[in-house]
Structure 1
Amino acid sequence: MTKYLDIDNDSGIEAYEISSDRISVKFKGGSVYVYSYQSAGKDNIEHMKKLAKTGDGLNSFINLNVKYKYVR
């Protein structure tokens, strides 16, 4: 997994892993959630990938848009 930059130092996200049709997100408590095209929608996943790479806004986006739309 890639360490999440968290440029504002205000996120609950520790790391992420990007695949072609999904993103796995590891939260600071240790839980890992996988969001896929099928579970959360392609547009949401692609936006999450961009936020993950920039290191800002991913936690907020998850909470507001895809919180319970994970695979596992």
Structure 2
Amino acid sequence: MKLWGQISVELNVEDFVEAADHQKRLEDMLRLVRAAYPEATLAMRERRQRRPTPVVRARPPGLGTGQLNDYAER
């Protein structure tokens, strides 16, 4: 059986210099973890804010039922 453990740290940084400082600290911590788990890895990724999505209204009941609409000429 294989298991995968994950430790997540979310960081708010102003620039790449600050990000590099945090990365160095995490790499120091990773050395301690690797003493017990030699295959441990560190991945740093940029996480961007999602844009708010517009609210979509639900369809009124009766639409999409396969029933034909009753059209009349005017």
Same fold (TM over 0.5): no
**TM-score bracket relative to the smaller structure:** under 0.3
Give the number of the structure whose alpha-carbon radius of gyration is greater. Answer: 2
Q: Relative CO higher for 1 or 2, CA cutoff 8 Å, sep ≥ 6?
A: 1
Give TM-score scaled by structure 2 length. 0.26
Whose strand proportion is higher, 1 or 2? 1
Whose helix proportion is higher, 1 or 2? 1
Give TM-score scaled by structure 1 length. 0.27
